[in-house]
Amino acid sequence: MAQERKQERPERPEKGADRAEKPEAEAAGAAEAKPRRRREKRVVPRGAAHVKASFNNTIVSLTDPAGNVIAWSSAGAAGWKGSRKSTPYAAQVAAETAARKALDLGLKVVEVFVRGPGAGREAAIRALEATGLEVTAITDVTPIPHNGCRPPKRRRV
């Protein structure tokens, strides 16, 4: 009976045998890797600008009507760090950068959706208009809780 069990089990490879084969297989796989295809640039004349102005940063995303992001930028991506990210000027530069990228893709008319209580709300909208985008509507979509989570404690300064 013990001999029958041994015959049923498949043979195990030796412990070091599988490790020796892996580097060769990885090297062969790396040579066959396909180059990443760049997305083709498509012309989108209308879209939406989503401005998320938090207390620490401002993020500007420009999307097509379906909601796919065309161009984006943030105060942090524009090069600011720390408390400088939360300034209106940083939000302005972030909005200008995102708007320039979108203008290159043919975006002309945007509807602005603003979310959050940050300092860069108005500055970002003004910068979008100044770069040449036509703003048709401005909507505040800040989520307001109906007595949801408890807010953070008040600061004592």
111, 137 Cβ separation under 8 angstroms? yes
In a domain, 14, yes or no: no
Question: Is pLDDT of 146 > 60?
Answer: yes
Quote the tokens at residue 123: 């500055």
pTM of the model: 0.70
In a domain, 51, yes or no: yes
Question: Is pLDDT of 75 > 80?
Answer: yes
Give the contacts of 1 (CB within 8 A, at least 6 positions apart): none
Of all residues in the chain, the percent with pLDDT exceeding 90 is 67
In a domain, 7, yes or no: no
pLDDT attached to residue 34: 75
Quote the CA–CA distance of 112 and 150 in Å, as a whole number.
29
Of all residues in the chain, the percent with pLDDT exceeding 70 is 77
Question: Is pLDDT of 106 > 60?
Answer: yes
**pLDDT average, residue stretch 73-80:** 92
CATH code of 123's domain: 3.30.420.80
C-beta atoms surrounding 111 within 10 Å = 16
Question: Is pLDDT of 27 > 70?
Answer: no
pLDDT one-digit tens code per residue, 45-67: 899 999 999 999 999 999 999 99
- Alpha-helix runs per DSSP H in the chain: 2-8, 17-32, 88-104, 121-130
pLDDT attached to residue 30: 58
In a domain, 30, yes or no: no
More confident residue, 144 or 30: 144
* Residue numbers of the domain that contains 112: 46-140
In a domain, 94, yes or no: yes
pLDDT one-digit tens code per residue, 122-145: 999 999 999 999 999 999 999 999
In a domain, 117, yes or no: yes
Q: In DSSP terms, which residues pair with 69 in a beta bridge?
A: 63
Question: Is pLDDT of 107 > 80?
Answer: yes
Closest CA to 56 of 27, 91, 24, 23: 91
Burial class (CB in 10 A: 0-12, 13-18, 19+), 71: buried
Domain total of the chain: 1
In a domain, 157, yes or no: no
In a domain, 8, yes or no: no
Strands of the 134-140 sheet, one edge to the other: 69-74, 58-63, 46-53, 109-115, 134-140
